[in-house]
Structure 1
Amino acid sequence: MSTAPVMKETSPGRPPRALLSADALSVTFPGRRGGPPARAVDGVDLDIGPGEIVALVGESGCGKTTLARALLGLVTPTAGRVVFAGEPLGYGPRALKAYRGRVQLVLQDPSGSLNPRHTVYEAVAEGLRIHGRPGDERTAVADALARAGLRPPERFFLRHPHELSGGQRQRVVIAGALVLRPEVLVADEPVASLDASVRGEILALLLALRAELGLSALVVTHDLGLAWNIADRVAVMYLGRVVESGPVEDVLSAPRHPYTRALLSVLPESPAEPVVLSGEPPDPTRVPGGCRFHARCQILASGEAARTGVAEACRTQDLPVLPGTGPHAAACHWAAPEAGA
């Protein structure tokens, strides 16, 4: 895969109840200049268990960042709900403030998320001050920096972002999330802006934090190699829906959905012939009938769907929303017999 391998430990067995869930979640944005609305997220179920890392993968425009923002409470769902620790998320200021102390965002671009005029100490302490956390601030900041791999932490207190390497800046961003002692991290492309030599270090750090602190994480990425190295489960998203999900080894070793197969085929290490997707990229203002991938599907274009008798269903019959967790499953007419559905 495209990201350097890191040592990954398997998380504990799946819990009976998820820690963070999207429950039939939809986010629709008004159309521009009177145009049709954009169904960015369309009835998604997704669960993240305690101590579990879930990778959410897909092309740009598939809805994965909007889904992540909805799970963070930064976007209010049009329908459905976000559930945390068994309770639906409230959207009042007090409820959101308490929630964001327990579910923290790690952005992809540390240069853009760090104020260049603030020192490392101020950047990490900001969350403590916003949330009014009691206790010794200096000790909390030092502990967060040390957990993020910046040791000795005091050496970094007075530095500014421009004095740090890209990997160090990303560690400061992670420390800023850790200082509040959250239960879940939502990491949006956490290594996309880093050199290849540093990516493995940051992924290893996230795995170590899971092991040491019991953190859960949703990692949003277009990089299936990253998903392979860090995740317990993977959810593949296309045009607002999760179209394949399951244990990462199952999904990436034996993909069932043609979209997942296409994404995997273009990785440098893939033995498969690269699949060049035809047609237009996903457009949430124009969700087709039937399977929403059918206009770009290589299985349908090759005639294989017709030979197996599902071509008409591909074009006309919508598919059920995949459950938030469970065994390897794909929302695909052609894959259904293969999946034992």
Structure 2
Amino acid sequence: MTTAPPPPLLGVSDLRVTFPGRHGAPPARAVDGVGLTVRAGEIVALVGESGCGKSTLARALLGLVRPASGRIEFAGRPLEYGARALKAHRKRVQLVLQDPSGSLNPRHTVYEAVAEGLRVHGYAGDEKEAVTGALARAGLRPPERFLLRHPHELSGGQRQRVVIAGALVLAPELLVADEPVASLDASVRGEILALLLRLRADLGLAALIVTHDLGLAWNVADRVAVMYLGRIVETGEVEQVLTAPRHPYTRALLSVLPDTPGDPVVLSGEPPDPSRVPSGCRFRVRCPVLADGEAERAGVAERCHGEDPSLTDDGARSRVACHWAAARA
């Protein structure tokens, strides 16, 4: 008798987040029917251009943005939006933001910054021991050297480690890291990514890393989900998606990475306004395989113009929302 696998730590089903349109435009569909899972101890990268909805999705997972419809479950239970329930949820799911300088109060010492979460949640244990332990786990050793420092006395990498320590002090099960290394130089980015991998190995900590950088996903993630204009358009194991991408958008993102063979794929224009999502495939107005006739030769051009594709379930190691890619499978 086989045992059913445990439910994912985080499960998102058909999630939609809308915002009022500007100047009489229809509502902006920032997150438009997203499904996503993160298993315990897993690192998933959510990748896409600026404005694709990935940061809005990240905030919805914390209950900072309330969805119009859909479902978010954590540890098998639906997310509730009462004040007490959200407070308990945010203890288990912690947000790490891009800019550590903006995340830290310049008047607070490192000790006060890390202890803040403990005080909000009424921690009853030894506060100093918890703070020094979190700083040590974040790689600030010996932690006593940092307790009385202020943010301006730290390097960018040290400030980001303080932000991570502030999340770790509450012993979360999932980190949602929104562009956690975008503001750091290359050498420090590597150190922070290595820290995330070590936290997964030592603590079993899961992470959803929101990034525009597919190279980052390659270095740290187990699975990747590529997002475009509010939807996941390709998802699967990171090695599969990044070595054999199926969606033209994923291929374009990969083509501009250093040492990628071939010429970069330059997408025309900017992503459409999420209040005016194109009919048919939402990527079609920028799609190179539609523009150069490949979709026509595959017999799917008409579907690209008239039918919004859903993620396939064709037995492949990755899932893709693309008529052309599905026809080639």
Relative to the length of structure 1, the TM-score reads 0.93
1:229 corresponds to: 219
Amino acid at match of 1:211: A
SS in 2 for 1:101: helix
Give 2:182's aligned residue.
192
* Contact kept? 2:31, 2:231, Cα under 8 Å: yes
Q: Would you say the 8 A contact 2:16–2:30 is kept in 1?
A: yes
Q: Which residue of 2 aligns with 1:56?
A: 46
Encode CA deviations 1:186-213: one digit per residue, 9 max, x unaligned: 0000000001111100000000000000
Contact 2:58-2:210 at 8 Å conserved across structures: yes
Residues 312 and 326 in structure 2, CA contact (< 8 A), matched pair in contact too? no
Paired residue for 2:273? 283
Which amino acid is the alignment partner of residue 23 of structure 2? R
1:312 aligned to 284, 296, 302, which one? 302
Q: Partner residue of 1:293?
A: 283
Cross-structure match for 1:47: 37
Correspondence 1:259 to 2:249: yes
3-state DSSP of counterpart to 1:271: coil
1:21-71 deviation per Cα after TM superposition (whole angstroms, max 9, x unaligned): 111100011112322110000110000000000000000010000011101
Matched, 1:160 2:164: no
* Contact 2:47-2:224 within 8 A present in 1 as well: yes
Mind listing any 5+ residue stretches in structure 1 that lack a counterpart? 1-13
Cα distance, 1:321 vs structure 2: 4.6
The AA in structure 2 aligned to 1:264 is L
The answer to whether 1:142 aligns with 2:132 is yes
Shift of the alpha carbon at 1:251? 0.2
Alpha-carbon distance between aligned partners in 2 of 1:54 and 1:332, rounded to the nearest angstrom: 21
Q: Which amino acid aligns with 1:123?
A: A
Of 88, 96, 112, the residue aligned with 1:106 is 96
Aligned residue identity for 1:302: D
Alignment partners' CA distance in 1, 2:300 and 2:39: 35
Bigger relative CO (Cα 8 Å, ≥ 6 apart)? 1
Q: Deviations over 1:206-251 (max 9, x none)?
A: 0000000001100000010000000000000000000000000000
SS at match of 2:281: coil
State the identity %.
Answer: 77
2-side partners of 1:160 and 1:280: how far apart?
Answer: 40
Aligned residues: 325
Hey, what does 1:4 align to over in structure 2? none
SS in 1 for 2:35: strand
SS state at 1:80 partner: strand
Instruction: Please say if residues 241 and 321 of structure 1, whose CA atoms lie closer than 8 Å, have aligned partners that are also in contact.
Output: no
2:235 is aligned to 245
What is the CA distance between 1:16 and its match in structure 2? 3.9
Q: Is the 1:251–1:328 contact (alpha carbons within 8 Å) kept by the matching residues of 2?
A: yes
1:196-235 residue pairs with structure 2 within 5 A?
196-235=186-225
SS of aligned partner of 1:263: helix
Unaligned runs of 5+ in 2: none
Distance in 1 (CA, whole Å) between partners of 2:101 and 2:272 is: 29
Secondary structure of the residue aligned to 1:118 is coil
> Structure 2 CA distance, aligned partners of 1:207 and 1:75?
28
Matched residues in 2 for 1:338 and 1:253: separation?
17
How far off its partner does 1:318 sit?
1.2
Aligned-partner Cα distance in 2 for 1:102–1:226 = 25
